[in-house]
Chains A and B, each alone.
Chain A
Amino acid sequence: MTILSAHDLVVTRNGRRLLDGISADFGPGRLTGLIGPNGAGKTTFLKALLGLIPVDGGEVRLDGLPLTNYRPSDIARRVGYLAQGAPCHWPMSVERIVALGLLANGQDRRAEAAAGKQAIADALAATGTNHLRHRAVTTLSGGERTLVMIARCLAGGAPMLLADEPVTGLDPRHQLDVMDILRRRVSETAGTVAVLHDLTLAARYCNHLILMADGRIFAQGTPDVVLKPGNLAAVYRIKGGLHFVDGRQIVVSHSPEENRT
Chain B
Amino acid sequence: MKLSRTDRSFDIPFPFLLAGLVLLTLVLFAASVVFGRAGVLIPNAGILIGAPTTPEAVILRELRLPRAILALVVGGALGMAGAALQGLLRNPLAEPGLVGVSGTAALGAVATFYSGLAAVYPLALPLGGMAGAGLAVVLLYLLAGRDAPILTLILAGVAINAMSGALTTLALNLSPNPYAAFEVFFWLLGALTDRSMDHVDLALPFITLGMGLLATTGRGLDALTLGEDVARSLGIGIGGLQARVIIGTALAVGAAVAVSGVIGFVGLVVPHLLRPAVGHAPGRLLPASALGGGALTLAADIAVRFATDGPELQLGVLTAMIGAPFFLALVLRTRREGQ
A-B interface pairs (CB < 8 A), number: 96
Residues of A within 8 A of B177 (CB): none
Residues of B within 8 A of A52 (CB): 229, 232-233
Q: In the complex, what's the smallest C-beta–C-beta distance from B197 to chain A, in angstroms?
A: 38
Check if B227 sits within 8 Å of A103, measured CB to CB.
Answer: no
Q: In the complex, what's the smallest C-beta–C-beta distance from B143 to chain A, in angstroms?
A: 19
User: Is residue A191 contacting chain B, with contact meaning CB distance below 8 A?
Assistant: no
Q: In the complex, what's the smallest C-beta–C-beta distance from A71 to chain B, in angstroms?
A: 8
Check if A72 sits within 8 Å of B229, measured CB to CB.
Answer: no
Check if B280 sits within 8 Å of A104, measured CB to CB.
Answer: no
Residues of A within 8 A of B90 (CB): 89-90
Residues of B within 8 A of A75 (CB): 233, 235
* CA–CA, A80 and B90, complex, Å: 22
* CA–CA, A85 and B282, complex, Å: 21
Check if A81 sits within 8 Å of B235, measured CB to CB.
Answer: no
Cβ-closest chain A residue relative to B230: A83
User: Is residue B236 contacting chain A, with contact meaning CB distance below 8 A?
Assistant: yes
A residues near B (Cβ < 8 Å) are: 47, 50-52, 71-77, 79-81, 83, 87-93, 96-97, 100-101, 103-104, 106, 108, 134-136, 138-139, 149, 152, 156
Q: Among A74, A89, A152, A156, find the residue whose CB has the most chain B CB atoms closer than 10 A.
A: A89
Residues of A within 8 A of B9 (CB): 91-93, 96, 134, 136
- Partner pick for A103 among B7, B236, B275, B280, CB 8 A cutoff: B236
User: Is residue B335 contacting chain A, with contact meaning CB distance below 8 A?
Assistant: no
Q: In the complex, what's the smallest C-beta–C-beta distance from B28 to chain A, in angstroms?
A: 28
Residues of B within 8 A of A74 (CB): 235
Provide 15 A-B residue pairs closer than 8 Å at the C-beta atoms, listed in order of the A residue: A50-B229, A51-B232, A52-B229, A72-B235, A72-B237, A76-B234, A83-B226, A83-B230, A89-B90, A89-B224, A89-B227, A90-B280, A91-B280, A100-B222, A103-B235
User: Is residue B225 contacting chain A, with contact meaning CB distance below 8 A?
Assistant: yes
B206-223: which residues lie under 8 A (CB-CB) from chain A? 219, 222-223
User: Is residue B8 contacting chain A, with contact meaning CB distance below 8 A?
Assistant: yes
Residues of B within 8 A of A73 (CB): 235
* CA–CA, A103 and B232, complex, Å: 11
B224-250: which residues lie under 8 A (CB-CB) from chain A? 224-227, 229-230, 232-237
Check if A80 sits within 8 Å of B233, measured CB to CB.
Answer: yes
Cβ-closest chain B residue relative to A103: B234
Check if B7 sits within 8 Å of A87, measured CB to CB.
Answer: no
Cβ-closest chain A residue relative to B87: A90
User: Is residue B281 contacting chain A, with contact meaning CB distance below 8 A?
Assistant: yes
13 additional contacts, CB 8 Å, given A87-B226, A136-B6? A50-B233, A52-B233, A83-B229, A93-B9, A96-B281, A100-B234, A103-B219, A103-B234, A134-B9, A135-B7, A136-B7, A138-B6, A139-B4
Q: In the complex, what's the smallest C-beta–C-beta distance from A154 to chain B, in angstroms?
A: 13
Q: In the complex, what's the smallest C-beta–C-beta distance from A101 to chain B, in angstroms?
A: 8
Q: In the complex, what's the smallest C-beta–C-beta distance from B34 to chain A, in angstroms?
A: 39
